[in-house]
Structure 1
Amino acid sequence: MNRLFSALVVCMLSVPSFVQAEEDDLVAQVVGAPIAQNEAHRLASIRLIENYLLPTYEGLSLQMATQAEAWQTVCPAPTKPQLEKLQQHYKNAAGMWVRVEFIRFGPVSFLLRHERVSHWPERRNAVGRALSSLMANPDGEALTLKQFSRASVAVQGLPALERLLFTQDDKWQSPTDEAAIARRCAVGQAIATNLATISREIVEGWKDAEGPLEQARAGKTMGLYYTDASDLGRRLLTDQLTGFQIMGDIKLAAPRGVALEEGQEPVVKSGKLEAWRSGLSKANLLANLYAMKGMTYAWGVTSTWSDTQRVDVETAFQKAHASFRALPTDMKAGLDDGTAPTSIEQALIDLRVLRTQVADVLPPSLDLTLGFNALDGD
């Protein structure tokens, strides 16, 4: 009787081989799918970093270093031609920054590097107040690299340097105030040196063995920057698509203003334009658009798009580029005299279409969803 009972138990507990095979296959599918997905995300992220992000950051570092070197040769009293060269160096450096300014992921997120390079948009004239305070402080120690890197982020970056170079030409040429001119030049040197240092550190961070690129190449997870390859891709993609929102909501819509009551004209706020003092508002938007296109194709997944999708995305980029080029060169003057709002509205329309086209195609082709962005909750 006991032997019969034992045999029955064995039969009940035994699983036929074909059933076990099906279960093993199911487990392999469930486990294998995330592994394959992670590998695809890892490779796509590496392509984006190698083909677009790292070369752009290297270009930024080069421009910042060149700018810093130029500042070292002109103090304590730069001539007008020298000032004009410094202004061009600023434009070159700022033009590279706006090609990565919407990226918050990676080494730029450490030590407040992003905010230190460009504290914008500012609130309550933070840059102007911080710069005035620094100019009034005779302490030379405050301008050393170590001390200056701890100063207010509002005075460390491009917006402060822009004000020094483009809004107070008369203060550079006063023959009766050599000490003030020397101080202004020393402040400019400090900002330029600080920017060059930060930009170099960002590149070094990307290339470091513990940086996101080398970690991705090695297939490592749970590092300083992301938890797995899907998280890496999600963070990069979210930053990219947030760039459209920054361009539309902050760079175009905010300066155009909103109507206080229905039927009224918007209350223009031209002072909210990015880099209006240097006349770069339009150029920066075009550079942003260049960056959006560069990143979209750098992922290396456009071959998976249908012919219709490729045409739709390319057409949307072309229309946005045309409407951006139609913006007035001096956008602030155009807003102030009422000639710019129509072209800004068209740029906003074409930008929304472009954002929709890219957002409809790129995330699915990468098999990624978007996370929270830097503007969520604002």
Structure 2
Amino acid sequence: MRTFTHLALVAAVLMPLPALAQETASTVGVLDTAKVPSVMARAVDDFIRPGYRQFTEEAETMEESMVRLCGAPSRDHLLNAQATFGNLVAAWSRIEIVRVGPVLDNNRFERILFFPDRKGTGLKQVQAALAKPDPSVTSVETLKGKSVAMQGLGALEFVLFGTGSESLEMEGNAYRCQYGTAIAANLKRLGGELVAAWDMPEGVAAAWKTPGPHNPIYRDEAEAAKELLGILVHAAETIRDQRIEQFYKGVPKKAQPRQAIYWRSGNTFRSINANIEGLRDLLDTSGMVELLAEGNRSVVSSTDFVARSLSRVSADIKPDVAAIFEDPTQIAKLDFLLLNSRDLILRLNNDLGGGIGLAAGFSFSDGD
């Protein structure tokens, strides 16, 4: 009876998508190269630059919340800092799908988010820093030279939500709070660097907007379009492989809730939802639909339908990851994410990729 109930719940959750159950596109389109520069420009000006600015602003607010908590430890100030952390996670999760360009320089991405930490190395480093006070982690100038795992969102989450975090609301624990403040300030610094890099008149933004033979990054429009599509495909792959399958691969008894990103703070699905919304926003604001022939443009709307369904379900899952596996209804929603995130990958990779001139079946993961 329990198995039947679970299957019924899965079926109920899956109901919105059968209309989209179809073979992926087999017709390879022709890229409209004349439209590529404007699409790339919108991706930069309407998604990437605003995304990094939003993240930087949230990091600044996070730093202010930590300063307030350190100056006057209290339950209210701790709760405010924890809520601010959730906003910071959401802001980063929208823009983290852009895993190209300046964010890869100097290990900026890993400095902001070191995940997955498969061997728990980063966690051990943070725990060690908290167990034995080290003044070098309480200053941005010295913290930025530490292990990447000690200076980003994962470290800040443990400071605010990990073992011993309740002490932050009481007097006499300045060190832990100062460490958290330094992390927040470091995230603001990294965000500021990314904003500056994308704002440079002759920098990466210009390269995105003007593909051509003299461009140091994109020698032609096809390379530029491939980069943008690759961001979307890799984002969908990451959502499935590193965000969902990291802790759940379809067998509830084998689930590992503590392997989920942001499980301590209850931001796992808020982050996944922001990843999906970031993907949808980039696809929409860039106007990638313009790169498709009129007859193929329904590919974008059907892809967005799948992404929107994933967003709706991810926003409706309990924040406590462990509690999910005590509720068949919640498990059904997780199964929905697992199944349809695969569909999203195929639609982006095969249908959209084929529609703009890449053969169906092209895999960005292969490095082709």
Interval of TM-score (by shorter of Structure 1 and Structure 2): 0.7 to 0.9
Q: CA deviation digits over 1:122-146, x for unaligned, max 9? A: 1222232111222245442443222
1:229 CA drift (Å): 4.5
**Structure 2 match to 1:309:** 299
**Scaled by the length of structure 1, what TM-score is found?**
0.78
RMSD (Å) for aligned C-alpha atoms: 2.9
Q: CA deviation digits over 1:97-147, x for unaligned, max 9? A: 001223211111111110000101112222321112222454424432222
For residues 64 and 213 of structure 2, the distance between their equivalents in structure 1, rounded to whole angstroms, comes to 39
Which amino acid in 2 is paired with 1:345?
D
**Structure 1 match to 2:198:** 206
The alignment partner of 1:98 has SS state of: helix
**Structure 2 match to 1:148:** 143
Are 1:353 and 2:320 an aligned pair?
Answer: no
Ranked by relative contact order (alpha carbons within 8 Å, sequence separation 6 or more), the top structure is 2
**Gaps (5+ residues) in structure 1?**
1-33, 260-264
Label 1:225 to 1:165 Cα distance change in 2 as closer, same or farther (>3 A).
farther
Contact 1:106–1:206, Cα closer than 8 Å, also in 2: no
Which amino acid in 2 is paired with 1:193?
A
Which amino acid in 2 is paired with 1:247?
I
The alignment partner of 1:327 has SS state of: coil
Which amino acid in 1 is paired with 2:336?
Q
**Structure 1 match to 2:80:** 85
**Structure 1 match to 2:18:** none
Counterparts of 1:182-331 in structure 2 under 5 Å? 182-217=174-209, 225-257=217-249, 266-303=253-290, 304-306=293-295, 308-331=298-321
Question: Which moves more between the two structures, 119-128 or 355-364?
Answer: 355-364
1:305 CA drift (Å): 4.7
Contact 1:157–1:191, Cα closer than 8 Å, also in 2: yes
Aligned residues: 332
Which amino acid in 1 is paired with 2:104?
S
For residues 221 and 140 of structure 2, the distance between their equivalents in structure 1, rounded to whole angstroms, comes to 36
For residues 212 and 80 of structure 1, the distance between their equivalents in structure 2, rounded to whole angstroms, comes to 44
Give the alignment partner of residue 118 of structure 2, picking from 98, 123, 134.
123
**Scaled by the length of structure 2, what TM-score is found?**
0.80
Label 1:368 to 1:69 Cα distance change in 2 as closer, same or farther (>3 A).
farther
**Structure 2 match to 1:170:** 166
1:235 CA drift (Å): 2.5
Identity of aligned residues (%): 23
Label 1:269 to 1:346 Cα distance change in 2 as closer, same or farther (>3 A).
same
For residues 84 and 140 of structure 1, the distance between their equivalents in structure 2, rounded to whole angstroms, comes to 25
**Structure 2 match to 1:108:** 103
Q: CA deviation digits over 1:187-224, x for unaligned, max 9? A: 01110000000001001001113421123445576666
**Structure 2 match to 1:28:** none
**Gaps (5+ residues) in structure 2?**
1-29
Label 1:55 to 1:170 Cα distance change in 2 as closer, same or farther (>3 A).
closer
The alignment partner of 1:255 has SS state of: coil
**Structure 2 match to 1:17:** none
Instruction: Pick the structure with greater CA Rg.
Output: 1
